[in-house]
Amino acid sequence: MRTPGLVATKTGPVLGLAGADVVEFRAIPFAGPVGGERRFRRAVPPEPWREPLRAGTWPKMAPQPWGGMTAENEAYAASVFGDPYVTSWTEDGLYLNLWTPAPDDALRPVLVWLHGGGFYFGQPTRERENGRVLSAREDVVIVAPSHRLGPLGYLDTRELLGGDANVGLHDIVLALEWVRDNIAAFGGDPGNVTVFGESGGGQKVHALLAMPSAAGLFHRGVCQSGVFRAPTIPGGISRERARAVTDAIVAQAGGAGALLELPADRLAVLALPPGEVWQPVLDEASLPVPVPEAIAAGASAGIPLLLGTDADEMRVLGRDYGIPSTLEELATALGSEALARHYLGGAGSGTPAARLAGERAITDAWFRMPAIALAESRIRAGAAPVFLYEVRWSNPDRPDVGAGHGTETTLVFGNLDAVGAFRGVPSGRSLSVHMGAAWASFARTGTPVLPDGPWPAYTLERHETVLWDDPPVRADDPAAPDRLATAAALTPRDG
């Protein structure tokens, strides 16, 4: 008699946790060790095993900065993003978690989740990102891989150590190859794979669209509150800029050779030069040209995209990054005094109204306008349809969160009860069901649906956008005033 949670993979059998609605597999290795002599090199598949691997324990997270927040900020973060299942780390930690209604031959749509945290932080094991509810409710298979972060994933050691570039992105490609080779045994369809991610995870989806090695491994993409934006995170920094980052890290480590000897937890917290963040570098083997340039030239043109943002992204992120609230601060942040004046309107510098204007302006600059730019670039390249959204729903009892960064993740996964900021809000429950259904229909057919009918594709004529509220509504060009002001302020003038 077949054990319900026992599945044979290409490298060995795995035994999951059979529940009432789904079978859950935790910490399935999709790669071998990446520490020691494998540090800074592309991962390879794991060595085969014979005895069933008990996939019942959450994997440790990748080395990264952890802790250092005040108790107040830790409590706030937990109330917005949910608690992590683990806080310990391991360098040899390339694993994936998987949820399936049944490991049978049903060939269900597969959704591969890429966690947020930029390119230096995060894990696929938080309460809000547990795939159990979405998998059961929508009859889909969900896979959530880990991947290397920070210097272990993106330090450019090609010249110093002969290492590989962008090994964190290559980890994701290897996980997608694992999906291609194994997912049918878990009830998934290797010919229908959607990659979706939030924040830094959305940027990783954006990068995969431009990576030649990822071609054919996924068939739809979803970027939630995260695509590349120039000049800060341009989707591939130059070799010269990457070398300056490497030089700074080498100096702190005590020499190039020390990069291989330094404990991973110490390497993960070395400081970047001012103004830099961990991100991919240009590399012939992974990102030959910057991601936006590749998209404009037609990369992955056949892959439909679902893109969007939250209305109050910076309500949450402003606690870490700060919000400009004077004309001078906002003009510096936006690179345009005219654009700063547009957002401030009649609000006096330093007032609560000016802070809200600054919050909206940075939300647009970092999130909404880059998403619109990506949508329009795809259309101009003659690519597959793009579907745009904005989340406007929020818990009226938590104005400190609003429709803040990450709101759509909790809603799509259906884990409102696990996140304090959204627990017990009736309108959130119905919206969560509708959003999960829309994401699942996009994964199933390439076209998302709304509760009352079709979701219109974005066009350059009408700028169709779905506003996720209770109830969701279709709108034509809701970003028009800010979109046009941004275009006018940032378009170079002759003379």
Output DSSP code: residue 396.
Answer: T
Euclidean distance between CA atoms 43 and 264, whole angstroms = 16
- E-state strands within 245-326: 305-310
CA distances from 22 to 100, 141, 471 (A): 5, 9, 29
CA 472 distance to own-chain centroid: 23
Q: CA nearest 134: which of 345, 444, 342, 380?
A: 444
Supply 173's token pair: 């490609």
Bridge partners (DSSP) of residue 391 are: 310, 468
Per-state percent for the chain, helix, strand, coil, to nearest 5? 40, 20, 45
> In a 3-state reduction of DSSP, which class is residue 184?
helix
**Tokens 């068939």 identify what position?**
219
> Where in the sequence numbering do the catalytic residues fall?
199
Supply 329's token pair: 């601060």
Euclidean distance between CA atoms 165 and 156, whole angstroms = 6
Q: CA nearest 106: which of 75, 69, 54, 141?
A: 141
> In a 3-state reduction of DSSP, which class is residue 463?
coil
Supply 447's token pair: 């076209």
Structural element, H or E, at residue 346: none
Phi, psi of 254 (to 5 degrees): 100, 25
Contact of 242 with 326, CB cutoff 8 Å: no
Name the amino acid, one letter, at 310.
Answer: D
- E-state strands within 102-219: 108-114, 141-145, 188-198
Non-local (6+) Cβ contacts of 381 within 8 A are 295, 296, 297, 298, 301
Q: Which ranges of 364-473 does DSSP label H, i.e. alpha helix?
A: 369-380, 407-413, 426-445
Euclidean distance between CA atoms 288 and 213, whole angstroms = 11
Q: CA nearest 149: which of 200, 197, 195?
A: 200
